[in-house]
Amino acid sequence: MTRQFDLAGASGTRYRYSHLDENRFLPPAGANYVIAELTSEGTNVVFAGETDNLASQSWRADLEKARRKFAEATLLTRLNVTRAVREAERQDLVENYHPPLNG
């Protein structure tokens, strides 16, 4: 079973993200992604992004960059087909967590 994480936006809306196994088949669907350190104290969001096609792995460069500074960073995803929804969700998360790599 895939482990899930609830992340709250600045608006108070909660979004459910799933841990991404980088070696599994990825759907060619739009998605939001969060790069985070998962600790016993909670989820430390270091980057929030979105993509039109999760299977294209455009997120991989962001993950590699994050791992240079945050060695234990991992990728969490949430499928969202509509670009406007993805962009609003990403902005909501950025406003709440202020991820250092979204600067």
Q: How many domains does the chain have?
A: 1
The reply to whether 48 falls in a domain is: yes
Q: Is the pLDDT of residue 1 over 50?
A: no
- pTM of the predicted protein model: 0.91
pLDDT tens-digit map of 14-59: 999 999 877 787 889 999 999 999 988 889 999 999 999 999 999 9
The reply to whether 102 falls in a domain is: no
* Cβ–Cβ < 8 Å for 7, 93: yes
The reply to whether 16 falls in a domain is: yes
Q: Is the pLDDT of residue 60 over 70?
A: yes
The reply to whether 45 falls in a domain is: yes
The reply to whether 79 falls in a domain is: yes
User: Domain containing 30: what range?
Assistant: 4-97
* Cβ–Cβ < 8 Å for 21, 82: no
The reply to whether 24 falls in a domain is: yes
> What does DSSP say about strands 42-51 and 31-39: parallel, antiparallel, or unpaired?
antiparallel
The reply to whether 103 falls in a domain is: no
Query: Where on the phi/psi map is residue 69: left (φ > 0), alpha (ψ -120 to 50), or beta?
Result: alpha
The reply to whether 35 falls in a domain is: yes
> What does DSSP say about strands 14-19 and 42-51: parallel, antiparallel, or unpaired?
unpaired
Sign, CA dihedral 87-93-20-68, equals: positive
* Cβ–Cβ < 8 Å for 35, 43: no
